[in-house]
């Protein structure tokens, strides 16, 4: 009897020792896996920090070059504090890139990370070149040497400076993105390995436990087997399993306790699942509502800030003229009625220009938020277009420009705002005249597509680059070629685009430098084409 007890105790100790060994091995494996996974997450975070820092450098440099373009275009240096702040922000962004790369080098200890520092040095040199060039531009503008400022700006915008800077930034961003993707892929592979290893290791441990329990169960009664089966069933999630009545009093009580526990666990699990599903549905709905509200608020705030900035920028000049005319009228000796009337006429013209500018800005802002105010009705578009062409023929004749208009059908009708559409046609024809050469011609064609009306305004003027064609619909953008050829506010095409999109249409620009430009407008029908009898 003593030998049997001792033998049984040895089996229990052997089982416990083997189980402990497997648990320690499993713990070591998961500790190592967790450490490696944390390492890859840290690397990903560092790479993302470097990536965001490079994006900040690119944004500040782009703003710097745009700022210099505005200075050269206006011929004066203003808001020095904001421009100095941009310069400091650029240098701070470069310093942040260096700190992030240094942290990455210290963490990874890879020679390839040292190459990133060498790449950063090249970017820093070009950035410093751009900063020094901007100082030269400001100095030239302050000295009145606008030509030197224009040359310096062209040099900064050239491929050897801005182009090379963009290439270096693109290379750095591509490298960081590649490194982030590689690190994330490695982390994902490690995660997959853990997910594969976990069930295999768990199954192995369970198998060993089962073998050991089989060896041990030879010295115990049928009651232990019944309890073991119940434990396995509960472990696998089968809470409906019930232990039959056992002959021994102790195991009978234990079996009854197991059954009661399984009933309570099944009830709690069902309640927990139901509660979790309800909570997940509630959280998902609230999250969607919050995301939608947040996106709407962000769009509204962004539009408001941009509108205020645009209005402040564009109102400065006409308000300065109004103030100057008023001060001249009030200063000095009394003037004649004709002089006062002349001054008031100039003030009125500036006020009208300012009112029109504010109205256009408000319309563009409302259109960007989907709240464009248009009054739609049936419009004979050919007649409307013909009237606009007649209005501009006298202006075109001053430059000996001929307007050639062609209409496939005089009875074409669209559903839209006649006043706003007239404004679009006037903007396109005015631009065509403004940027055409003396003695040229402008073609205005109205035709039909499958489900839309197509309007084309084509000139033989200075043309435009692909970049100008893309940027022309941004508020206050004017290409270098356009700046040299004619004056303008840079607001006409954005207003035209807002009007056309409010009519569910589209507008696009085509052309090449020196080969003229073409504006193409497409307006949809309301259901089907309608004709005026």
> Domain check: are 310 and 428 in the same one?
no
Residue 234 lies in a domain: no
Pairing of strands 402-407, 441-448: parallel
Residue 267 lies in a domain: no
Residue 266 lies in a domain: no
Same domain, 478 and 353: no
Residue 256 resides in a domain: no
Domain boundary pick from 159, 192, 217: 217
Confidence of residue 457 (pLDDT cuts 50, 70, 90): very high
Asked if pLDDT for residue 262 goes beyond 50, the answer is: yes
Look at residue 387 and tell me whether its pLDDT is greater than 80: yes
Residues 364 and 397 in one domain: no
Q: Are residues 449 and 306 in the same domain?
A: no
Check pLDDT > 60 for residue 303: no
Query: Going by C-beta distance under 8 Å and a sequence separation of 6 or more, which residues neighbour residue 474?
Result: 494
Do 310 and 178 have their domain in common? no
Q: Write a three-state SS string for 275-319.
A: HHHHHHHHHHHHHHHHHHHHHHHHHHHHHHHHHHHHHHHHHHHHH
Judge if 13 and 111 occupy the same domain: yes
The pLDDT value recorded for residue 526 is 62
| 146 confidence band (pLDDT: 50, 70, 90) | confident
Q: What is the distance between the alpha carbons of residues 484 and 146, in angstroms, rounded to a whole number? A: 13
Q: Helices marked H in 80-163 — which ranges?
A: 80-108, 111-142, 146-157
Residue 9 has pLDDT above 70, yes or no: no
Mean pLDDT, residues 381-387: 89
Q: Is 295 contained in some domain?
A: no
- Is 243 inside a domain boundary? no
Residues 505 and 522 in one domain: yes
Where is pLDDT greater, at 416 or 149?
416
- Of 348 and 381, the structure prediction assigns the larger pLDDT to 381
Please indicate, yes or no, if residue 187 is contained in any of the structural domains.
yes
On whether both 330 and 456 belong to a single domain, the answer is: no
Alpha carbons 490 and 314: distance in angstroms, whole number: 11
The reply to whether 413 and 496 lie within a common domain is yes
Show Cβ contacts of residue 298 under 8 Å, excluding neighbours closer than 6 positions.
none
* Res 332 pLDDT > 60: yes
Q: What CATH number is associated with residue 358?
A: 1.10.287.130
* Residue 231, in any domain of the structure: no
Shared domain for 179 and 318, answered yes or no, is no
Pairing of strands 412-416, 530-531: antiparallel
381 shares a domain with 323: no
Helices 111-142 and 2-74 cross at an angle (nearest 10°) of: 20
Q: How do beta strands 377-380 and 412-416 pair?
A: antiparallel
Number of structural domains, the chain? 3
My answer on whether 93 and 14 are in the same domain is yes
Q: What is the pLDDT of residue 533?
A: 33
- For position 58, what pLDDT does the model report? 75
Of the three residues 217, 235, 250, the one that is the final residue of a domain is 217
Q: Which domain holds residue 46?
A: 2-217
Domain boundary among 217, 252, 282: 217
pLDDT at 197 over 80: no
pLDDT at 333 over 70: no
The CATH code of the domain that includes 427 is 3.30.565.10
């Amino acid at each position: 009897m003593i030998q049997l007890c001792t033998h049984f105790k040895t089996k229990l100790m052997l089982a416990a020792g083997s189980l402990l060994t497997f648990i320690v091995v499993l713990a070591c494996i998961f500790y190592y896996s967790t450490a490696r996974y944390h390492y890859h997450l840290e690397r990903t975070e560092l790479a993302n920090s470097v990536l965001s820092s490079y994006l900040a450098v690119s944004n500040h440099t782009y703003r710097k070059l745009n700022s210099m373009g505005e200075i050269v275009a206006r011929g004066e240096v203003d808001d020095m504090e904001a421009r100095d702040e941009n310069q400091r922000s650029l240098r701070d962004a470069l310093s942040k890139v260096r700190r992030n790369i240094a942290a990455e080098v210290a963490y990874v200890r890879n020679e390839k990370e040292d190459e990133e520092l060498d790449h950063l040095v090249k970017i820093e040199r070009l950035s410093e070149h751009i900063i020094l060039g901007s100082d030269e531009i400001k100095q030239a503008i302050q000295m009145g040497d606008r030509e030197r400022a224009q040359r310096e700006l062209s040099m900064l915008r050239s491929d050897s400076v801005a182009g090379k800077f963009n290439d270096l930034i693109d290379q750095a961003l591509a490298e960081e993105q590649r490194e982030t993707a590689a690190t994330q892929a490695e982390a994902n592979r490690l995660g997959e390995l853990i997910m594969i290893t976990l069930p295999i290791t768990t199954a192995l441990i369970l198998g060993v436990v089962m073998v050991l329990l089989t060896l041990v169960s030879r010295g115990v009664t049928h009651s232990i087997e019944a309890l073991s089966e119940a434990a396995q069933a509960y472990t696998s999630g089968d809470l409906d399993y019930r232990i039959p009545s056992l002959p021994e009093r102790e195991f009978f009580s234990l079996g009854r306790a197991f059954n009661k526990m399984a009933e309570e666990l099944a009830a709690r699990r069902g309640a927990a699942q139901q509660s979790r599903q309800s909570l997940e549905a509630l959280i998902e709905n609230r999250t969607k509502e919050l995301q939608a509200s947040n996106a709407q608020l962000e769009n509204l705030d962004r539009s408001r800030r941009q509108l205020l900035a645009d209005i402040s920028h564009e109102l400065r000049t006409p308000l300065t003229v109004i103030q100057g005319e008023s001060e001249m009228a009030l200063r000095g000796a009394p003037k004649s009625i004709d002089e006062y009337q002349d001054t008031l006429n100039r003030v009125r013209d500036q006020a009208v220009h300012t009112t029109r500018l504010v109205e256009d800005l408000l319309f563009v802002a409302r259109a960007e938020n989907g709240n464009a105010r248009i009054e739609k009705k049936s419009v004979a578009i050919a007649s409307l277009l013909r009237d606009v062409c007649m209005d501009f023929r006298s202006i075109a004749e001053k430059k000996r420009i001929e307007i050639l208009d062609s209409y496939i059908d005089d009875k074409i009708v669209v559903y839209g705002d006649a006043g706003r559409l007239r404004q679009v046609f006037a903007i396109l024809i005015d631009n065509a005249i403004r940027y055409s050469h003396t003695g040229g011609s402008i073609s205005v064609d109205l035709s039909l597509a499958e489900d839309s009306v197509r309007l084309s305004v084509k000139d033989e003027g200075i043309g435009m680059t692909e970049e100008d064609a893309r940027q022309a619909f941004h508020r206050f953008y004017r290409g270098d070629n356009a700046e040299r050829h004619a004056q303008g506010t840079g607001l006409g095409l954005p207003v035209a685009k807002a009007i056309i999109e409010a009519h569910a249409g589209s507008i696009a620009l085509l052309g090449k430098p020196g080969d003229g430009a073409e504006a193409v407008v497409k307006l949809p029908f309301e259901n089907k084409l309608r004709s005026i009898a």
